[in-house]
Amino acid sequence: MDRIAELTHQFSQIESSIRDAEVAASRTVGSVHLLAVSKTKPTSDIETLVRLGQKRFGENYVQEAVEKIHTLCDLDIEWHYIGHIQSNKTKIIATEFDWVHTVDRKKIASRLNEARTGEPLNILIQVNVDLAETKSGVAPINLKQLAEAIWALPNLRLRGLMSIPDPASDEDLKRAHQTLKSLFDELKDSHPTQEIFDTLSMGMTNDLGLAVMEGSTMVRIGTALFGARPPKDSV
Ligand SMILES: *Cc1c(COP(=O)(O)O)cnc(C)c1O
């Protein structure tokens, strides 16, 4: 199969997996968005998917992403930054992307806010749901305070939460998803002005169905869509 046929096939498989998962979870059909995680993949793959109707793309590496964003600037793409944020990269991230999924501290939020001009930058807070010591993400106990800090920043629009759980078992994974969903609901209820707060970025290739069952509104899919990446890049 040539590359275009392969991507076309994988894209339609993923779309139907998402629709099946929505039905299985008694969710509204169309309520879960696909974020195509295109890190390490060529711009030609992205162009193919755009032609098939895909709009949201996620990237992890700033330099690689910026080159792609510039190359594809004529296409209607919403760019999501899903990698770790170094503070010396906040300016370029705030300038080039539409969404950032991995904000986990106030200092980073303030720097993104200072650098952003025009439309507010859509923000998700990354939560360390399983409290793994080596991982990024705010601890659940500090989440509300960080959300309030972000709500006060005019150039950021807090849209929801994100997690990258690293579970030992399916049970742990399910618990991690349930934790994120309940933190999301609590925060949504506690926010007085009803600013749009609508996104739960949860689920990847291996746990798409489970994540949709537990309330995800955006699944981040790389491998199932584009094929395997070099080992060092597997997240
Ligand atoms: C790479 C990556 C993904 C995609 O993972 P797959 O298992 O290939 O679907 C999703 N989210 C984040 C944060 C990633 O870094």
pLDDT per position as a tens digit, 163-217: 998 888 889 999 999 999 999 999 999 876 657 899 999 999 999 999 999 999 9
Q: Is the CB of 41 under 6 A from ligand 1?
A: no
- With CA atoms as reference, report the closest residue to 142 among 119, 98, 99, 109: 109
**Pairwise pLDDT comparison (103 vs 192), residue with the higher score:** 103
Ligand 1 centroid to 205 CA: how many Å?
Answer: 7
Ligand 1 centroid to 193 CA: how many Å?
Answer: 33
Q: Say if CB 126 and CB 164 are below 8 A apart.
A: yes
Helix 170-190 and helix 143-151, axial crossing angle in degrees, nearest 10: 40
The CA-atom distances, in angstroms, between 155 and each of 93, 107, 119, 123 are 13, 14, 7, 10
Q: Is the CB of 219 under 6 A from ligand 1?
A: no
Q: Which atom of ligand 1 is nearest to the CA of 39?
A: 1
Alpha carbon nearest to ligand 1 atom 11, residue: 220
- With CA atoms as reference, report the closest residue to 100 among 46, 5, 116: 116
36 sits in which H/E element? strand 33-37
Q: Is the CB of 223 under 6 A from ligand 1?
A: yes
Convert the pLDDT of each residue in 127-165 to its tens digit.
999 877 767 899 999 999 999 999 999 999 999 999 998
Alpha carbon nearest to ligand 1 atom 15, residue: 235
pLDDT class of 233 with cuts at 50, 70, 90: low
Q: What's the pLDDT at 225?
A: 98
> What burial class does residue 61 get, using C-beta atoms within 10 Å of its C-beta: 0-12 exposed, 13-18 middle, 19+ buried?
middle
Q: Is the CB of 201 under 6 A from ligand 1?
A: no
Q: Which atom of ligand 1 is nearest to the CA of 223?
A: 8
Q: Which atom of ligand 1 is nearest to the CA of 206?
A: 7
Q: What's the pLDDT at 230?
A: 84
Whether 73 shows a pLDDT value over 70: the answer reads yes
Ligand 1 centroid to 204 CA: how many Å?
Answer: 6
Q: Say if CB 160 and CB 198 are below 8 A apart.
A: yes
Q: Say if CB 47 and CB 73 are below 8 A apart.
A: no
The residues, any chain, with a CB within 8 Å of residue 150's CB and separated by 6 or more, are 103, 109, 123, 125, 156, 158
44 Rama class: left (phi>0) / alpha (psi -120 to 50) / beta: alpha
Q: Is the CB of 221 under 6 A from ligand 1?
A: yes
